[in-house]
Amino acid sequence: MSVHLILKSLLRRKVVTALLLLQLAVTLGLVVNSLLLASAAKELVDQPTGLALEQILTVRVKPTSASMRVEPALSEVINRQLAAIRLIPGVEAAEYANQTPLRQGGSSSNLFETDRQDQSNIDAVPYYNTGSQIFQVLGTRLIAGRQLTELDKGTQNIVLTEKLAKQLFAEQNPVGKSTNQGTVVGVVSDFYSQRYATDQSYGAINFMPMARAEMGYQLMVRVAAGQSEAVRQQLTDVIRNAEPEMDIDTVMRMDENRDEVFRSEIGLATLLAVLSGLMLLVAMISAYSHAHFHALQMQKEVGIKRALGASKARVLLDVLSESWLTTAIGAGFGILVCYGLNISLAKVISIPAVPVWLPLLTLVLLLLCVTLATWYPARIATRISPATATKTL
């Protein structure tokens, strides 16, 4: 049937049509924004971290006895634990640190070049109090200068991540520069450090002792490829055997830490994806019942059309094209809804702007769903006998 005839018959059923269009419009708006959030969350999760996510295990531990949380007992315990961990087959390196990269919360400090505090100050730079295997565990590359060694233990020498060094010293050679946290002796490649630091790739590594472990400390283990599960299974027992008075958290692989950091984004995106699925389901039910009801109510009309020479294929096309047209019009309004919703959501959470192609893609998806849902009732309509036309009800 022609577009203007469908439009005419839609206009004669104003309320039903308005309800249908409203619903389609909101559905499109929601699905578009959900897809947008889902893709943003995926991008966040999939961003490069500079870390071999599947080869690093982390576990937070804390001595249950207060006396073991201060030196010299603390270092002694840590060394015992690390020695035991390094003996596990499949472990390539192990180190402690006050915090691990890619985790919610943590410790950071401001950092500036000693003579240029005002110009060079950076508010929040995560700092790592750790030991010599840290570079091996994280898998960082040396960019300039040297890495820290056992000899740097207890000194004020620090290693910076590349992006941080660039920010502080621009094109100058950072090696030998003096900062409020110590003298720079080297620069290593960037890794995802802390989400809410001034920059996520900023990090300053030193070999100063932790002084005390009131918040506990982290043990980080680099495992050979494919060995993470085998090592994970033994890790807790090995740590407990090394020192029983120890509160040991769940062992996390680095990618699990990452998922935890982006949990609320992933959670919301998943939630909205589920809701979008429900929306599409509702749209399909709606299209189905509308077409079904139509086929029943319009028996006579379909019969007349058949008598006047409309073939079954024609009737099928008629029912489908009405669905398509309403979906397209609804989706047209839906584009407004989708921008409106995008603006409203942006006031509450961070959500990217709507790219032009996304509503179109969603329209195609919607059309597909509607076609699928209309198919069966449309088939029923084609079964209406043309003889219906001659029956008087």
Partner 1 sequence: MEALLHNLKLSWFSIKRAPLPYALTLLILSLGLGTFFSNATLYYWMNRDPLPEKSASLFMVRLNSTPGDCTDCFDPPRVMSYMDMQKMSGSGIPSAEAAMFSSEAYAKTVENQQATPSHVNLRATQRDFFKLFNVPFLHGETWPDNNARMEVVISKNTALKFFSRTDVVGQEMLIDDQLYKVIGVLSDWAMLPRLYDVNGRRSAEPAEDIYIPLETAYDLAIQSNTQNSFFDVDWDGDVKTYPQMARTNFVNQLQFWVQLDSPEKVTQYQQFLKNLVADEKAAGRHTRPESNKLDNILDVQKAMRATNEQLDAFALVASLFLLVCVVNASHLSLNRYMANQYEFSLRRALGASRLQLQSQILADVLLSSVLAFAAALLFAQLGLWTINSLLPSTRALAGWDWQMLGVMALFVLLISYLVTLYPALKTSFSPLNQQLKQ
Partner 2 sequence: MIKINNLSKIFRTDLIETHALRQINLQVNEGEFAALTGPSGSGKSTLLNVLGTLESFDQGDYLLDGRSVKGLSDRELSALRNEKIGFIFQGFNLIKDFSLFDNIELPLRYRGFSAAERKRRVEHALETVGLAARRDYHPSQLSGGQQQRVAIARAIAGEPRILLADEPTGNLDSLMARQVMELLEKINQQGCTILMVTHDPDQARRANRHIQIVDGQLNDATLYEPLGYEPLTAAGA
Rounded to 5°, the CA angle 201-204-206 comes to 150
Q: How many CA atoms lie within 13 A of 372 on its CB side?
A: 12
Q: Which is nearer to partner 2, 117 or 311 (CB)?
A: 311
For partner 2, which residue of 2, 48, 244, 357 counts as binding (CB under 8 A)? 2
In DSSP terms, 60 is beta-bridged to 218
Residue 213: Cβ within 10 Å count? 21
| 174 close to 146: Cβ distance less than 8 angstroms | no
> Which of partner 1, partner 2, none does residue 275 bind to, with CB < 5 to 8 Å depending on kind?
partner 1
| 74 close to 68: Cβ distance less than 8 angstroms | yes
> Which of partner 1, partner 2, none does residue 35 bind to, with CB < 5 to 8 Å depending on kind?
none
Residue 193, helix vs strand vs coil: coil
**Residue list 4-33, contact with partner 2 (CB under 8 A):** 5, 8-9, 12
For partner 2, which residue of 170, 308, 348, 353 counts as binding (CB under 8 A)? 308
Amino acid at 235: L
Instruction: Give the C-alpha separation, 365 to 369, whole Å.
Output: 6
Rounded to 5°, the CA angle 332-364-322 comes to 65
Q: Which is nearer to partner 1, 106 or 186 (CB)?
A: 106
Nearest alpha-carbon partner for 273 in 30, 2, 24, 17: 30
300 binds partner 2 (CB under 8 A): yes
To which residue do tokens 């699905």 refer? 31
Nearest alpha-carbon partner for 248 in 210, 214, 218: 218
305 binds partner 2 (CB under 8 A): yes
> Which of partner 1, partner 2, none does residue 308 bind to, with CB < 5 to 8 Å depending on kind?
partner 2
Q: Which is nearer to partner 1, 312 or 339 (CB)?
A: 339
Smallest gap from Cβ 318 to partner 2, in A, equals: 11
> Which of partner 2, partner 1, none does residue 70 bind to, with CB < 5 to 8 Å depending on kind?
partner 1
Smallest gap from Cβ 357 to partner 1, in A, equals: 22
Smallest gap from Cβ 380 to partner 2, in A, equals: 15
47 binds partner 2 (CB under 8 A): no
Binding-site ranges for partner 1 (CB under 8 A): 15-16, 19-20, 22-23, 26-27, 29-30, 33-34, 64-67, 70, 105, 211-212, 214-215, 244-245, 247, 263-264, 266-268, 270-272, 274-275, 278-279, 282, 285-286, 288-290, 292-293, 296-297, 341, 344-345, 348-349, 393
| 37 close to 268: Cβ distance less than 8 angstroms | yes
For residue 137 the two structure tokens come to 């565990």
304 binds partner 2 (CB under 8 A): yes
Beta-carbon contacts of 99 under 8 Å, excluding residues fewer than 6 positions away, are: 106, 107, 126, 128, 194, 218
**Residue list 309-368, contact with partner 2 (CB under 8 A):** 309-314
Q: Which is nearer to partner 2, 173 or 385 (CB)?
A: 385
| 276 close to 30: Cβ distance less than 8 angstroms | yes
Counting residues that bind partner 2 (by CB under 8 A) gives: 25
Using alpha carbons, list the distances in angstroms from residue 93 to 134, 358, 375: 8, 46, 61
The residues binding partner 2 (CB under 8 A) are 1-2, 5, 8-9, 12, 300-301, 304-314, 385-387, 389-390, 392
